[in-house]
């Protein structure tokens, strides 16, 4: 099947062709016709298989095929209102989706904007005041604009929840409900996700009307184009082994995952001392620093990008060859999202995990989730010391091998009296402090 057969208008097809795409991916083949029909949709696929274009292309066409609300006044076109809203969990994913909207809609008279935290809100307000048709946003910053009355969501015709499972996992459910209360009851809703948990299905039941269900791959599976290997190693020698692998194999572009922000900074500094150019990206970095680090990584000025799990979703790096789990994630599903940064769009990729004895249970959880054993390969000279005893990873911490849960993002807890602790107080303060996202979204 080609894009010619999907019924896309000439302007959109031209933009797709200029991007170099001629054949749609399986999720695009199935989703685009259904969205064009106006159906609500639950779309699931492995990360990196083209979900963004799967909703962006038909969304643009739907807006072009229906007249905008309002009537011309004295010969002027009515003021633009937000007709399509795309919610994403992270700044990086919001920027990626906004770029896709711009690229695929370049020959259409539609205006779009992206809003997220970590940057000044005033330029965003100015663009919103001028009017946009499509808004891509993170939930926290969107609610900031709502509180300042710089957005009107009452005319939204299409709602997209992108990476919905990640938004729920990051604690956005209350913000999502606040946003939903501001939207019209009659609208088309598209829910896209890498996985369909029971919580996602519960949310879908309250949002979607007789939705079509697309799931082009078994849940929680990595792309077949990604080769996976585990190198057992003592935690004290992980950095040494990583430098060896990068240098000996001449890896030119490597995305490395740690659990904590501090661990990402430390590893980046150590790699630079080893003569390997590296940069860190995590929630404590300003948005400008995150953008620069990613740009340097993409253009080859930085060889290694060390990231916490904020980068497991939303980073779209063409033909990224290598992903390294310097530390395994505490949540097994995050392993699938991490290694999904490579092997995208049918390209081959390699996922390497450096696993110390403390992480064997985490490794077992991952293998149980993906329903396969990952090949184990001990590197000569880095054989694990059998006399070392495993240390429990309490709350994500275990010396240099451990870290805070979910890439250094603390979960709020409730004491026995049922009241939130100080760690969970004032969601508005958390959003300001962390750039429009909850602390767990940093």
**pLDDT tens column, 84-137:** 999 999 888 899 899 999 999 999 999 999 999 988 999 999 999 999 999 999
Taking residue 142's Cβ as centre, other Cβ atoms within 10 Å add up to 25
Contacts of 135 (CB under 8 A, 6+ apart): 82, 84, 85, 86, 112, 113, 114, 115, 128, 142, 151
Rounded to an integer, the average pLDDT of 418-431 is 38
Mean of pLDDT over the chain: 84
Q: Angle of helix 173-180 relative to helix 198-207, nearest 10 degrees? A: 10
Mean pLDDT of 390-406: 52
Q: Is the CATH number 3.90.1150.10 carried by domain 226-408?
A: no
Q: Flag whether pLDDT at 264 surpasses 70.
A: yes
Sheet holding 158-162, edge to edge: 112-115, 134-137, 84-87, 158-162, 188-193, 41-44, 212-215
Half-sphere exposure (Cβ direction) of 373: Cα atoms closer than 13 Å? 3
Comparing 77-91, 142-156, 191-205, 309-323, which segment has the lowest mean pLDDT?
309-323
What's the token pair of residue 442?
Answer: 């940093």
Kindly calculate the radius of gyration of the chain based on its CA atoms and give it in whole angstroms: 22
Q: CATH 3.40.50.300 occupies which residues in the chain?
A: 3-215, 226-408
Q: What is the topology classification, in CATH, of domain 3-215?
A: Rossmann fold (3.40.50)
Global confidence as pTM: 0.68
């Amino acid at each position: 099947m080609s894009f010619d057969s999907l019924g896309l208008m000439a302007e959109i097809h031209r933009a797709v062709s200029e991007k170099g795409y001629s054949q749609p991916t399986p999720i695009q083949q199935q989703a685009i016709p259904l969205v064009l029909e106006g159906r609500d949709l639950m779309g699931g696929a492995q990360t990196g298989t083209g979900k963004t274009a799967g909703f962006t292309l038909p969304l643009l066409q739907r807006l072009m095929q229906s007249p905008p609300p309002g009537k011309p006044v004295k010969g002027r076109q009515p003021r633009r209102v937000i007709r399509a809203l795309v919610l994403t969990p992270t700044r990086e994913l919001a920027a990626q989706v906004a770029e896709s909207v711009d690229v695929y809609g370049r020959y259409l008279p539609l205006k779009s904007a992206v809003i997220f935290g970590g940057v000044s809100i005033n330029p965003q307000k100015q663009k919103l005041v001028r009017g946009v048709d499509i808004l891509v946003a993170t939930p926290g910053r969107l609610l900031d604009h709502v509180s300042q009355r710089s957005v009107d969501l009452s005319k939204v015709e299409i709602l997209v929840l992108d990476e919905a499972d990640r938004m729920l996992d990051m604690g956005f459910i209350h913000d999502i409900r606040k946003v939903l209360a501001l939207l019209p009851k009659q609208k088309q809703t598209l829910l896209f996700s890498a996985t369909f948990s029971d919580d996602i299905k519960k949310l879908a039941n309250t949002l979607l009307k007789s939705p079509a269900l697309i799931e082009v791959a078994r849940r929680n599976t990595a792309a077949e184009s990604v080769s996976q290997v585990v190198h057992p190693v003592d935690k004290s020698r992980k950095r040494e082994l990583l430098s060896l692998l990068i240098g000996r194999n001449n890896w030119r572009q490597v995305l490395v995952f740690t659990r904590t922000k501090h661990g990402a900074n430390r590893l980046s500094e150590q790699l630079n001392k080893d003569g390997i150019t590296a940069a860190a990206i995590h929630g404590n970095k300003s948005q400008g620093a995150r953008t620069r680090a990613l740009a340097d990584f993409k253009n080859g000025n930085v060889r290694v990008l060390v990231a916490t799990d904020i980068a497991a979703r939303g980073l779209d790096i063409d033909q990224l060859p290598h992903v390294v789990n310097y530390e395994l994630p505490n949540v097994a599903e995050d392993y699938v999202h991490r290694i999904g940064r490579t092997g995208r769009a049918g390209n081959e990729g390699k996922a390497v995990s450096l696993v110390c004895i403390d992480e064997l249970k985490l490794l077992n959880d991952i293998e149980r989730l993906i329903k396969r054993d990952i090949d184990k390969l001990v590197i000569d000279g880095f054989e694990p010391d059998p006399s070392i005893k495993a240390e429990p990873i309490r709350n994500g911490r275990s010396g240099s091998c451990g870290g805070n849960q979910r890439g250094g993002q603390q979960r709020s807890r409730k004491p026995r009296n049922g009241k939130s602790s100080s760690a969970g107080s004032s969601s508005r303060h958390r959003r300001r402090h962390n750039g429009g996202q909850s602390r767990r979204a940093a």
